[in-house]
Amino acid sequence: MYGLLRVTEVGRLTESAAAEIAFQLLSSIAYLHANGICSRDLKLENILMVDKKSNRIKIIDFGLSRFFDPSACNPLSTMCGSPQYVAPEILELADNNRTGYTEAVDMWSAGVIIFILLAGYAPFDDDNDVMLYQKIKRGEHDMGDSVWDVISPDARDLVEKLLVVDPLVRLSPQQALMHPWLQNTLGPCPAIGQDLQKLNYCHQQQLHPCQEVC
């Protein structure tokens, strides 16, 4: 296995390859959230390619993951994450504008990852962390590069709907999996319930959810 970061360092992926990886990523997030687990540190460095002949991935490093109560309002409250991938609501904790956040932070990170897969560069970037965090809190992602001229409107739309500052408006894993870009690029996708059943089967085969997701 080798890191997905190595793949993106040589440039952006084709839309079909990006869609395959995005579907697996979003399915994994759906599984985690269905089991009350929030990763809080999704990033390219924590995604491995199974082999060079396929686009199958595995998510690793759940050191910052936590169980959460889905019935609670903003059940998580620890500031954590990686600079370019951290959600704005986590950063707002430092400004005392929030007392907590939800599992929706994982969907922001997914948006950053899919952006990089498609464009080959990060949506939020600055040598100064303070400026970087200001851009993230304002949702000022950079789609000015000419590469976006050749990326389909549907792919762009999914990214835009994931990189939404308001977590209540941001797409859920289930909504993202049903997005037209994935449906049209990959063909009819398995029903979300069926997909989660397969992932739960992996869990039942003694795969600890805080170590690895298949």
Active-site residue (options: 41, 106, 129, 142): 41
Amino acid at 214: C
Rounded average pLDDT over 117-122: 94
Q: What is the pLDDT of residues 121-151, one digit of tens each?
A: 999 999 999 999 999 999 999 898 899 999 9
Q: Is 195 annotated as catalytic?
A: no
Of the pLDDT bands very low, low, confident and very high (cuts 50, 70, 90), residue 11 is confident
Of the pLDDT bands very low, low, confident and very high (cuts 50, 70, 90), residue 204 is very low
Q: What is the pLDDT of residues 150-194, one digit of tens each?
A: 999 999 999 999 999 999 999 999 999 999 999 999 976 555 544
pLDDT at 3: 66
Q: From its phi and psi, is residue 54 left (phi > 0), alpha (psi between -120 and 50) or beta?
A: beta
The fold of 2-204 is: Transferase(Phosphotransferase); domain 1 (1.10.510)
Question: What is the domain partition of the chain in residue ranges?
Answer: 2-204
More confident residue, 124 or 96: 124
Residue 200 has pLDDT above 90, yes or no: no
In angstroms, the CA 171 to CA 213 distance is 21
Point out which residues pair with 67 in neighbouring strands.
37
pLDDT at 97: 80
